[in-house]
Amino acid sequence: MEKKGSILMGKYDLGRLLGQGTFAKVYYGRLLKTGQSVAIKVIDKEKVLKAGLIDQTKREISVMGLVKHKNIMQLYEVMATKTKIYFVMEYAKGGELFHKVAKGRLNEDSAQKYFQQLIIAVGFCHSRGVYHRDLKPENLLLDENGDLKVSDFGLSALTESKRQDGLLHTACGTPAYIAPEVISRKGYDGSKSDIWSCGVILFVLLAGRLPFYDSNLMEMYKKISKADYKFPNWFPPDVQRLLSRILDPNPYTRISIAKIMQNSWFRKGLKTRQSRTKAEDAEKISLDFGSNSGSSGNDIPTDTKLEVAKPTNLNAFDIISLSTGFDLSGLFVDNDQKDEVQFTSTKPAAAIISKLEDIAGNLKLKVKKKDQGFMRLEGSSEGTNGTLFIDVEIYEITSSFHLVEVKKSSGDSIDYQKMLRQDIRPALREIVWAWQGEQQQDH
């Protein structure tokens, strides 16, 4: 049971309840070391299991590890106990964009600003092979500066989710915001369906109402399928032209993100806002666990390509078992990894590699191979089952937080286990934050 004012994992002061759903509660939190505000999403593991939402939870973690951008809600850390999973996330002080629209339509300048930030964030997601699939004002949060943050990736899909036809087939999302091709259930392009939802959002921001609405769901779907809507008379002509290209019921002729970014109305005031935001960002102090690492996405792409270097993509089990050393293998994978151990470290990758090289030298192990994030250590003599080879892989979660996997690739298991227990683990103590699989007190 989470209690206001309790200390979570020795790192966070757990504060007031911000909101709750069927399977999770979100609390305000504060990082004890710096006083930085965070939001802590507490997921009931048993409820998730019973509801069959393991895949959705794993996907949300995997996706949020891929999309690091100033206009996307950041996942800083994942922790777990026997009964709970904790997402430590960026705190959006301004709340949902929905609450602003609920008070009435926005002026053109405000709507344009939020739409620009939305398109840039969604374009970044698509460049990483991530499709949100549930874009709506309730999933768009605002930070203390009033800047937009895309959140809630629980229904998102990755490129590998596509079938052989290259399309997605799971019909999901919020009825009023989903694209016609999603309704038809014949397969759809995740990027084009997200673009449609962005168009509905822009309409809502400027009109204060939905473009497609009917108390009868089937009638509303008919309107969506035909793109049957009317512009309010206060919509500027250039906005009407852009929305007509976004709310095109034919996904093949619907405008792309790249073309939206080239649109004259979209670009109006963009450079001024971008310069101001960069100046503000320079004054911010980042969280001590490296929240600003990796591709920040601060530079707004102006050409048709949205390419970024992809980091090592951890599987969901790797990510969800980070940070605390809790063994969640019973929930996500078969626990049959006797010759493999994992630990997390707050040291930079260079320091981890240096330490491993020192250990190899002391144990007379040769560094047989060393690539970015990978090392292979070779034993100096033949064992019972041949020469011992130990592979080490380092996965970057943030610039100051890494998951390290140590496993025997060949050789005698008994020799390896003895060396691991008596020599390697003790020598690693100064750089290890937590070993995966070691139990800690439940919270």
State the Cα torsion 339-344-345-346 to the nearest 10°: 170
275: left (phi over 0), alpha (psi -120 to 50) or beta: alpha
CA 427 to chain centre: 34
436: left (phi over 0), alpha (psi -120 to 50) or beta: beta
The residue assigned the tokens 């800083």 is 76
195 CB-contact burial (10 Å; exposed 0-12 / middle 13-18 / buried 19+): buried
Residue 256 contacts by C-beta under 8 Å, 6 or more apart in sequence? 191, 195, 304
CB 348 within 8 A of CB 166: no
Residue 338 contacts by C-beta under 8 Å, 6 or more apart in sequence? 413
CB 266 within 8 A of CB 242: yes
Q: For this structure, is 134 an active site residue? A: yes
CB 46 within 8 A of CB 83: yes
Of the CA atoms within 13 Å of residue 210, those in its CB half-sphere come to 18
Exactly one of 134, 147, 189, 318 is catalytic; which is it?
134
Q: What is the DSSP string of 270-287?
A: HHHHHHHHHHHHHHPPPP
Distance CA 433, CA 374 (A): 20
Please indicate if the annotation marks 41 as binding a ligand: yes
Q: List residues with catalytic annotation.
A: 134
Residues in the annotated binding site: 41
Residues in the annotated binding site for ATP: 41
